[in-house]
Structure 1
Amino acid sequence: MRRIPWRPRARIMAVVITLFVAALGLSNAAAANTATANTATVQHIAVPAYFNPNGSPGSTFWTQLDQSTPAVGIAVANPDSGPGSAFDQGYANAVQAATNSGVQVIGYVDTGYFGTTGRTTRDGQTTTAAWTAQAQADVDNWYSWYGGYGLAGIFFDDGLADCGTDNAHVSLYEAINTFTKQNHSGALTVDNPGVAADQCYADAADVLVMFEGTYADYTTWTAPAWELSSTDPDKFWHLIYNTPTQANMENAVSLSKQRNAGYLYVTDDNLPNPWDTLPTGTYWSDELSQSAADGGGGGGGGSCTPIAGSGDITSYSACMTATTETFTATFNVAASFHHVFIDTDNNQSTGFQLPAPSTSALGADYMIENNTLYQSLSSGWSWTPVAGVSPNMTQNGNTYTWTVPLSALNNPATTQQAEFNGNTFYTDPVTFAQS
């Protein structure tokens, strides 16, 4: 059974460090994402359901999907790197049950990069024409065998991501998309290059898988500008595996919203096939609720209404929901490092004591510096990075926004304070509570 091909990427190992510098000293942090971005708020889980419904545990996972609507929007069925060689009643029953529960089941079709990389079809051919013929036959078999059971569309795997000379590559996917929609009315189509596709693919399918990889890679990945600026988050799908903890999963969901993905799937499963199980227990139930939750909420006293402020930092706010904290501020002067200091235990005597010219010692238990979250080790300038969490600072002009999963903070109080800093300028503290 074929999995969605994984693409190795450079891996950055987390190293716990302790920083001792002058009270106003600043440490290095990862560069900000400077694209002007839209953000997805309510999302749908879209699952590569590469588990066989003809027996356990596959049948259990299909039932789990059926019971997870409306959060689960799409499931990809994959008997054998495609529809298989014959009709399978077990898959027909799975497609029908999922459809009846509200899940759109789409069938896996391998495009083999249309032969451009030398991949062979099932009968050993490498030409574009042979791959096109095989893909069209697979599409027709999916609908012939399972269309009557509610099949909703087709998932085209092993996709190209570049336009190609004179748009030769994207034209291949536009053609198979047209073939599918003309012959099977209402078909939902998905292209999976597994990496960020060029904007020429915007009309080559209804949905594009723009990221497929590990959680470690996802925390440092940057979505392309055309995805970030799109007004249609449902065009984009992110697949994130090897996400070991629930806190990691929550952070991945938060990042996917900031990156404007309307569909996502996060799993703790790993290679060689990260798509042959489903997460279970609170990890799964929390993923369903995280994806459905609005990314905003909360703020100074329970709303995200910004405080006007004056000077180097204006229009700032701190917000808290049941699952996340969000911080926004406009920096009116150039600053190499943009800080948010957070008093999560509402106790000014613990954590880093902010120096003058801050108007308050605050007692910062955590600090965001650019897109890194640090935990305080003492009342002085001594910090350690929080492993597995990237607030992924986004920027719209001079306005910066950070979102942190609440699970990344150690026993946070229901009422907290935050203060923004750039260069030597500090805002007044912002008091905020869960909305």
Structure 2
Amino acid sequence: MVLPSAILLPLYLYPTATTPWTNLYNSLSAHPNTQFDVVINPDSGPMLVGPSDKSLSDYIAAVSNLSTYPNANIYGYVHTGYGDASLQPALLSNISRYATWNTYEPANIHLDGIFFDETPNAYDASIYTNFQTATNLARSSKLSKVIFNPGTIADAEYFALADYIIMFEGAYADFDASKIAALSQAVRANSSVVIYGSTLTEADQKTFVSQLVDMGLGSFDITTTDSYATWSALWAAFTQQFSSAVGVK
């Protein structure tokens, strides 16, 4: 069995004094040997301003705090329009804007990689070339970790570009474990699933977490909510269950 590498958390909750990321900080402290891949999304990508602009001050405070935890990888969200060539200039601009976070001197708001949302699942040569250009820019900009999110089973060619590919993103009621189990072990080790709208009890979630671990997925998330801007009612339980299932504290 290949153990999952990380909890994958799409964290689209805007950090303020009234909506802090305290739940995440607590889990990072409680499970220092568990890897958390955290996707931040200031404004469907980076804000149009640079990190020196005061409108990003809430994110600077939150990300600089998050950066103090060695078990957190931080990804910047970008939308891609499934490789639409007309959106390519904006995509490359967004990646370059995130790269400026890594050279911001007043605070450590360093990002580890880019989360590419709305990526295609079917291979197309011209679209592949667009994503190859984008991922090359990310890696050359020291945003070296890359996650693709087609939200469904993707063709294997895209694994040459991404470290992880989300092979399912959807409601718990729609999750078909057999489709994930049908993937080769090598593919599953670099695959992720994001499951929202879970109606599981805490005990049933524990069983489900163990099942996903046994599949050998690269990373996954389970949340009771339908929004990535709110915390799962079972978030703390999930992080404990995940850590226990992979045999770490």
TM-score for the superposition, normalised by structure 1? 0.50
1:335-380 per-position Cα deviation (integer Å, ceiling 9, x unaligned): xxxxxxxxxxxxxxxxxxxxxxxxxxxxxxxxxxxxxxxxxxxxxx
Displacement, 1:292? 2.4
Residue 7 (structure 2) pairs with residue 45 (structure 1):
yes
2:97 aligned with 1:97: no
Aligned residue in 2 for 1:290? 241
User: Partners in 1 of 2:145 and 2:180 — Cα distance?
Assistant: 23
Unaligned runs of 5+ in 2: none
**Corresponding residue number in structure 2 for 1:263:** 219
Check the 8 A contact 1:190/1:207 in 2, yes or no: yes
| CA deviation vs aligned residue, 1:170-220 (integer Å, no higher than 9, x gap) | 3322221112112x1352111111111111111111111111111222255
Q: Distance in 2 between matches of 1:289 and 1:216?
A: 23
Distance 2:26 2:222 in 1: 15
Task: Pick the aligned partner of 2:198 from 243, 263, 279.
Answer: 243
Over the residues paired in the alignment, what is the CA RMSD in angstroms?
2.4
Determine helix, strand or coil for the equivalent of 1:46. Answer: strand
Of 68, 75, 82 in structure 2, the residue corresponding to residue 113 of structure 1 is 82
2:41 alignment partner in structure 1? 78
Q: Distance in 2 between matches of 1:77 and 1:106?
A: 6
- The Cα shift of 1:264 comes to 0.8
Structure 2 distance, partners of 1:132, 1:147, is 24
1:279 counterpart letter in structure 2: S
Distance in 2 separating the partners of 1:204 and 1:292: 28
1:173 and 2:131 equivalent? yes
Which consecutive residues of structure 1, in runs of 5 or more, have no partner in the other structure?
1-38, 116-127, 297-435
- 1:55: Cα distance to partner? 3.0
In 2, the alpha carbon distance for the partners of 1:98 and 1:295 equals 23
Question: Retained in 1: the 8 A contact 2:223–2:232?
Answer: yes
CA distance in 1, matches of 2:29, 2:194: 21
Report the Cα offset of residue 243 of structure 1: 1.1
| Aligned-residue offset at 1:46 | 1.3
Distance 1:48 1:78 in 2: 8
- Which of 185, 200, 207 aligns to 1:229? It is 185
- SS in structure 2 at match of 1:150: coil
Which structure has the higher relative contact order (CA within 8 Å, separation 6+)?
2
Matched position secondary structure for 1:197:
coil
Aligned length: 235
2:110 aligned with 1:150: yes
What's the secondary structure of 2:241's corresponding residue? helix
Cα deviation, residue 151, structure 1: 1.1
Q: Could you report, residue by residue, the CA deviation over 1:133-191 in whole angstroms, capped at 9, with x for unpaired residues? A: 10110011112135542211111101101112xx3333322221112112x13521111
Report how far residue 231 of structure 1 moved.
7.2
| AA in 1 matched with 2:58 | G
- Structure-2 residue corresponding to 1:12: none
1:232 deviates by: 7.1
Secondary structure of residue in 1 paired with 2:216: coil
Deviation at 1:72, TM superposition (A): 4.4
**Deviation, structure 1 residue 248:** 3.6
Map 1:415-434 to 2 at 5 A. none
> Higher strand proportion, which one?
1
Tell me by how many angstroms 1:62 deviates: 4.8
Instruction: Output the CA distance in 1 between the equivalents of 2:25 and 2:246.
Output: 29
Mapping 1:331-350, distance limit 5 Å: none
2:120: which partner in 1?
A: 160
Displacement, 1:295?
A: 6.4
Once the two structures are TM-superposed, the CA of residue 294 in structure 1 deviates from its matched residue by: 4.5
Say which one has the larger Rg: 1
Question: Quick check: which one's helix share is greater?
Answer: 2
